[in-house]
Amino acid sequence: MANLSDLTINHGIRDMNPDYTRAVPDEWRKVARIFTALGDEHRQRILLTFEPGERLNVGQLVAVSTLSRSAVSHHLKILREAGVLESRKEGKEVYFWVNKQYLDETIGAVLIYLRTHS
């Protein structure tokens, strides 16, 4: 019968990388900003409002939200700064859309890293 120390060793702890100070890959720093931005349920709902290829302004998002215009604007700023959304001012309006390419590249890079290092 195996004792507790044998079970611990057999579960890979002996093979663990002891270098905790190893640098965090750049891809992970980018995805951390994305995950932080999407950690809020209101920002998740804003993102889910966009249909593929759709561009929306603050007023359109406020119309379907339970939040005030200033709150929606605040959440849009966080999503834009994290790279989740892109924006462009056209006349008096600012339009937002999902930055699909950035999300694909950033999250994809983390998935590739996990597949090759796990």
* Residues 31-66: tens digit of each pLDDT: 999 999 999 999 999 999 999 999 999 999 999 999
Least Cα distance to 58 among 42, 71, 44, 48 occurs for 71
Q: What is the pLDDT of residue 100?
A: 97
Residue predicted with more confidence, 87 or 21? 87
Fold of 23-117: Arc Repressor Mutant, subunit A (1.10.10)
Locus of tokens 């702890």? 13
Average pLDDT of the residues in 87-116: 93
Confidence of residue 81 (pLDDT cuts 50, 70, 90): very high
pLDDT of residue 58: 97
- Eight-class DSSP state of 40: S
pLDDT score of 98: 98
Reported pTM = 0.78
Q: What is the pLDDT of residues 1-26, one digit of tens each?
A: 555 554 444 555 556 677 777 787 77
Q: Which residues pair with 80 in a beta bridge?
A: none
Q: What is the CA radius of gyration of the chain?
A: 21
Q: Is 2 helix (H, G, I), strand (E, B) or coil?
A: coil
Contact 32, 108 (CB under 8 A): no
| pLDDT at position 7 | 46
Q: What are phi and psi of 89, to 5 degrees?
A: -85, 130
Q: Give 106's contacts (C-beta < 8 A, 6+ positions apart).
A: 27, 30, 31, 34, 83
Calpha distance 56→93 (Å, rounded): 10
